[in-house]
Amino acid sequence: MKMDIGEVFCELLSGLAIMFLLLPFLDLFKIRSISQSLEFISQHNGAAELAGALVAAYCLGLIMDAVGIAIGEKWLYPQLHKRVKEKEPCTYERKAFYEKTSAHLLQHREYEYAYLLAYTNLLIIAVPSVILWCAWTVKFGRSCAPFVIVSVFIFLEWSLWESIKFHLKQEVEITRAYVVTEADKLPKQGEDG
């Protein structure tokens, strides 16, 4: 299995979002203040430290993928299929798609699925992030910051929700396009039409 730069980017994005989530968590529970964390980052900004941070973010992204797949497949995607009024492709439709499609389209689909999963992960991570960041701003007396954080959160959640909905609708349409083609409608040799 070869690594695709798009898939690596999606893993890093999820991992970096978790690292961003950890900043207020560590500060609220008096493990390490945000200023200490930022000072530590600024003091350790060499190539080796950057590589270590990226590997850590990638590993966190892989762990988040497991959570994202579980939540997405069991709850989020079925809810979204109901909202776009499209049933999920059945086993027959998926089998027909994989039998008839080209390698290029399969590769594109894997790439799209990586982004779908990244959007799902960010949607999941955003919920505890807004809670922790609002709690942090309230604790340290920043009066208008929770309003700004919640506003950004609402926009982020809406845009991620719409992106996921678009990707799922596109997946259904492409999968179903391969189920019945004009060639399938014609009677096969030896059959009466």
User: pTM to 2 decimals?
Assistant: 0.78
| Amino acid residing at 153 | F
According to DSSP, residue 109 is labeled: H
CA 135 to CA 93: how far, in whole Å? 47
| C-alpha distance across the termini of the chain, in Å | 45
Looking at per-residue pLDDT, the higher value among 13 and 42 belongs to 13
| Amino acid residing at 33 | S
What percent of the chain clears pLDDT 70, i.e. is strictly above it? 91
CA 161 to CA 68: how far, in whole Å? 14
Looking at per-residue pLDDT, the higher value among 173 and 143 belongs to 173
Averaged pLDDT, 30-37: 87
For 124-150, the pLDDT digits (tens) are: 998 898 888 888 888 877 677 778 888
Which residue is associated with the tokens 């949607």?
Answer: 123
Q: Indicate whether 193 pLDDT > 50.
A: no
For 51-110, the pLDDT digits (tens) are: 999 999 999 999 999 999 999 889 888 888 787 777 777 788 888 888 888 888 888 888
The structural domains of the chain, with segments of one domain joined by +, span 5-181
CA 129 to CA 61: how far, in whole Å? 16
